[in-house]
Amino acid sequence: MNPWQWLTRPDPSPGFTVPKLLKLLARVMLFALVATLLSSLLQLTPLRPYLNTWWGSLLFVLLLYIPVARFLSADAFVPRRVAGPATTGKTAVSSAQRRKERNRYAGVRKGAPKYGGRR
């Protein structure tokens, strides 16, 4: 597996394990390196006076961080399709019980009374 695939594939194991923390450290270091390189390159352009203000640096960080946020948090929030079935705390219901509940109102044509029922 090449290093890019190692960095971008989420780890399905629960919790923050040592490999997940190493991946997170590598991602943060890579992000800091890219941010520093882009900032130093933008200092050579006419944008320099704007990047030296607090709002200019804030815009720069937000414009850089928002697209990269998904890459940085790939292991923090594992998608359900990777994590497997989630347990919601409900007890197991038999198929007969589910069918009974589903068919409970199967033959009912009319809905609930509107406007308070009888008058």
Q: What's the average model confidence in pLDDT over 109-117?
A: 66
Q: In which residue are the tokens 């704007």 written?
A: 50
Taking all residues of the chain, what is their mean pLDDT, rounded to a whole number? Answer: 77
Residue 111: inside a domain: no
pLDDT of residue 28: 86
Asked whether residue 89 is domain-assigned, the answer is no
- CA-CA distances (angstroms) from residue 28 to 34, 69, 74, 113, 116? 10, 10, 12, 60, 61
Domain assignment of residue 94, yes or no: no
- The total of structural domains in the chain comes to 1
pLDDT tens string 82-102? 555 555 555 677 888 878 777
Host domain of residue 21: 3-84
19 is a domain residue = yes
The verdict on residue 98 lying in a domain is: no
- Region 46-68 average pLDDT: 87
**pLDDT (0 to 100) of residue 15:** 77
Does the residue 7 lie in any domain?
yes
**SS3 letters for the chain?**
CCHHHHHHCCCCCCCCCHHHHHHHHHHHHHHHHHHHHHHHHHCCCCCHHHHCCHHHHHHHHHHHHHHHHHHHCCCCCCCHHHHCCCCCCCCCCCHHHHHHHHCCCCCCCCCCCCCCCCC
16 in a structural domain: yes
Whether 102 is covered by a domain: the verdict is no
pLDDT in tens, 15-39: 778 888 888 888 889 888 988 898 8
Residue 60: the pLDDT is: 87
pLDDT attached to residue 91:
66
